[in-house]
Amino acid sequence: MNTTEQRNRFLAFAFAGADLLLEVDRQGVISFALGAAHPMAIDDASNLLNRSLLSLIADCDAGLVRYLLASLETVKRFGPLRIGCVTEEGTEQIMLNGCRFPGQEDVVCITLSYGDRNGPAIATAARDQHTGLIEAQNFEDAALEAIQCAKKAGQEIKLSLFSLEGQEAFASRVDGEVAEAFLEQTGAILRAKSYADTAGLQGDGKYAILHAADVEPSAITDQLQQASLSLDPKKEGIRVESGSIEIKSEMSAKDAASALSFAVKQFAQDDTGIIRKEGLSRSLEILMKETGAKMSSFRSALTSDKLRFMQQPIVDLQTKALHHYEVLVRFEENQSPFQMIRFAEDTGLIMELDDIILKQAIAHLSHQDADPSLKLAVNVSGRSLSSPKFISNLYKAMTKLNFQRSRLMLEITESSIIEDLDQADRVIQKIRKLGHQVCLDDFGAGAASFQYLRALTVDFIKIDGAYIRTALKRKREAMLLKAMAGLARDLGIGTIAESIETEDQSTMLQNLGIDQGQGYLFGRPAALHFLQNSGQAA
Ligand code: C2E
Ligand code: CA
Ligand code: CA
C-alpha cells in the first residue's frame, strides 16, 4: 500500500466515527480541519483554520474543553463528551473526542460528530452554567441512563461524592473572576473523570459523579485541591472530602438509580447527621444499603395482604351532604402512611402505589355491587405525574370505563415534585376532558402554590389543614383563608377545606365561602374494602 492509500485508509477510519477532524494547540487554536462544519454554519472546514475551538463551544462546556486541552500531560485521550456547539440558531449537542499523539506534545487531535450517541436524559439535563454540571433534579434520570449503558457494556461503575469544605471562605478570599474560574475547573475535572458525562452539582460545594471503577477518587480530590491552591493568594486552598460506592449489578438499573439518588439527596442535605458521624464512604454504604432494603420492603408491602384502604367523606359545607370520599392508604393498621409515602416519593416508588390504588378504585367503581352514586378521589403524587410510564398506564386504565367518569376524581399531592409543569398540565387537561375532576391538594402548604395554580388548570383546590387548624386563633391565617377562597371563586375553582374538627371551624369556613369540607367532624377515615372485578372488563 502506498502512502496515499495508507493515508486514505486512516482517514476512512477517522470518518467512520466522526464528521469533523481538527488539530488544535493547547490554547485551542485550530491548525488543521477536515470534514463537515455545517452545524457551525460554515460551508468549508478550512474556514475554521486559525480560529479557536473554544469559540465554537457553548459557555457551559468551554471550561471542560479548555481544561482538557491544558492538561495534555495527564490526559492522553478523552471523550466521548457531549458538548454544546454554538450554531446560528443556538446551541446544538455534538460529541467530542480528543487524543494526543505520542511525540506531538503540543497537538491534540479532535473529532466531532453530530449524531446523538448518549441517551436523551444526559443530553437534555439542565446544567449549571458555572460548572457545566448536571443540576440536582436531573441527576437521577442521567444516572439511570448511565447505569443502563454501563450494564450493557459490562462495565463496572462507581458513585463518588465530593464535599468541598471551605469553598465559601475561598470564594470570599479571592476575586469574583477567580472564584468563577475555580468553579469552571471543578466542573471540568469532575466531568472529565465521569462516566457518560454523569457529573452533578448537588448543593453548595457538594458534587456527585458516576465513574469507571478504575478511576481513583483520591486523584480527583488531589486535582480539586491543587486547583484551589493554585488560585488562592493565601495558598490555603480548600479541603476536599470524598466517598465512593460500587453500583451493585444485582440491583435493577432503576432501583440502583433511585437508591443512589436518595443517598445523594441525603448527602446534599445531611439532615440525619449520618455523614458527619460516619464519614462519606461509610455513610454512603449505609444509606445505599438501607435504601435498597427499604425499597424492597415497600414493594413487598404493596403486594402484601396487610395493605389496607380507608375512605374519608368530603361534604358540602352548606348542606353537609356527602360529595365524595378520599381514598387513603394504610400499610399498618391505625398508622399514618406519611413516612412511607415520603420515602416512596423520594425514591420514585410512589408511582407503583398510585398505580395500584388507581386500578383498584376503578375496579371498585365499575363493580356491579358498588353503590352507583359513590364518588372516589384518589391521591396521585406529583412525582407520578412526571413519569411517562405512570402516565401511559393512567391513560390505559382510564380508556374504557363502564361508570360515569365524574365518579373518579384525582387529587394531585406533592405538586412541588413536578419538574415540568407544562407537561403535567397537559396530562391533567387530558384527564379532565375525559370527564374526571382534578383537585390540587395541600394548597398553601408550599411557597409555590400560586405558581402551581397558574400552571395547572384544576377543578378544585384543597386548602392545607394548617390554615384550618390555626384560623380561629390567628387573624392572619383567617385573612389568608379568605383570600384563597376569594381567589378560587374568581377563577371559577371549587374549594375544599381539610382537617375540620369542630363546628366552629366548619361555620367559619362556610362563612368564608369555602364549598366543601373534610375532617373528623364529618367522619374519620373508615375501612374501605375494594370490590374486585373477577375477569370482567373494567
Ligand atoms: P392528605 O392527602 O392531605 O390526607 C389527609 C390526611 O389528613 C390523612 O392522613 C387523614 O387521615 C388526615 N385527616 C383527615 N381529617 C383530619 C382531621 O380532622 N384532623 C386531622 N388532624 N387529620 C385529619 P393520612 O391518612 O395519615 O395521610 C397522610 C398523607 O399521606 C396524605 O395527606 C397524603 O398526602 C398521603 N397519602 C395517603 N394515602 C395516599 C395514597 O393512596 N396515595 C398517595 N400518593 N398519597 C397518599
Ligand atoms: Ca389528599
Ligand atoms: Ca391535604
End position of a domain, from candidates 79, 113, 147? 113
Residue 104 and residue 157 in one domain = no
Map residue 111 onto helix, strand or coil. strand
Residue 204 and residue 336 in one domain = no
Within 10 Å of residue 502's Cβ, how many Cβ atoms?
Answer: 13
Residue 316 and residue 167 in one domain = no
Instruction: Tell me if 338 CB under 6 Å of ligand 1.
Output: yes
Judge whether 121 lies within some domain: no
Q: What's the 374 CA to ligand 1 centre distance in angstroms?
A: 20
Joined together, the cell numbers standing for residue 122 give: 444526559
Judge whether 517 lies within some domain: yes
Residue 458 and residue 352 in one domain = yes
Quote the number of domains for the chain: 3
End position of a domain, from candidates 255, 275, 297? 297
Q: What's the 99 CA to ligand 2 centre distance in angstroms?
A: 56
HEC string for 455-488: HCCCCEEEECHHHHHHCCCCHHHHHHHHHHHHHH
Judge whether 124 lies within some domain: no
End position of a domain, from candidates 297, 317, 333? 297
Report which bound ligand comes closest to the CA of 417.
1
Residue with CA closest to ligand 1 atom 37: 328
> Which parts of the chain register pLDDT below 50?
536-538
Judge whether 499 lies within some domain: yes
Indicate whether this model's pTM tops 0.85: no
Instruction: Tell me if 416 CB under 6 Å of ligand 1.
Output: no
Instruction: Tell me if 520 CB under 6 Å of ligand 1.
Output: yes
Closest of 477, 436, 480 to residue 460, by C-alpha: 436
Q: How far is CA 434 from CA 381, 382, 536, in A?
A: 20, 20, 22
Map residue 523 onto helix, strand or coil. coil
Q: What DSSP assignment string belongs to 231-281? A: H-TTS---EEEEEEEE--TTS-HHHHHHHHHHHHHHHHH--S-HHHHH-HH
* Burial classification of residue 145, based on how many CB atoms lie within 10 Å of its CB (0-12 exposed, 13-18 middle, 19 or more buried): buried
Q: What CATH number is attached to the domain comprising 182?
A: 3.30.70.270
Residue with CA closest to ligand 1 atom 43: 379
Residue 106 and residue 139 in one domain = no
What's the distance, CA 452 to chain centroid? 18
Q: What CATH number is attached to the domain comprising 79?
A: 3.30.450.20
- Looking at residue 308, the DSSP 8-state letter turns out to be E
Q: How far is CA 213 from CA 41, 356, 509, in A?
A: 40, 38, 60
Residue 342 and residue 450 in one domain = yes
Helix (H) or strand (E) holding 324: strand 322-330
* Residue pLDDT, tens place only, 463-488: 999 999 999 999 999 999 999 999 99
Instruction: Tell me if 427 CB under 6 Å of ligand 1.
Output: no
Residue 251 and residue 324 in one domain = no
Residue 475 and residue 508 in one domain = yes
pLDDT of residue 441: 96
Judge whether 34 lies within some domain: yes
Map residue 499 onto helix, strand or coil. coil
Q: What CATH number is attached to the domain comprising 335?
A: 3.20.20.450
Helix 253-269 vs helix 136-153: crossing angle, to nearest 10: 140
pLDDT of residue 136: 93
Residue 83 belongs to what domain range?
A: 3-113
Q: Which of 325, 330, 498 to mutate to test the pocket of ligand 1 (most atoms within 8 A of CB)?
A: 498
Judge whether 120 lies within some domain: no
Instruction: Tell me if 386 CB under 6 Å of ligand 1.
Output: no
Instruction: Tell me if 313 CB under 6 Å of ligand 1.
Output: no
Residue 271 and residue 373 in one domain = no
Residue 103 and residue 77 in one domain = yes
Judge whether 173 lies within some domain: yes
Residue 102 and residue 240 in one domain = no
Spatial distance between the Cα atoms of 219 and 224, rounded to a whole number of angstroms: 9
Judge whether 118 lies within some domain: no
Instruction: Tell me if 341 CB under 6 Å of ligand 1.
Output: yes
Residue with CA closest to ligand 1 atom 20: 499
Helix (H) or strand (E) holding 98: strand 90-100
Residue 459 and residue 311 in one domain = yes
For residues 263 and 288, the answer to whether their CB atoms sit within 8 Å is yes
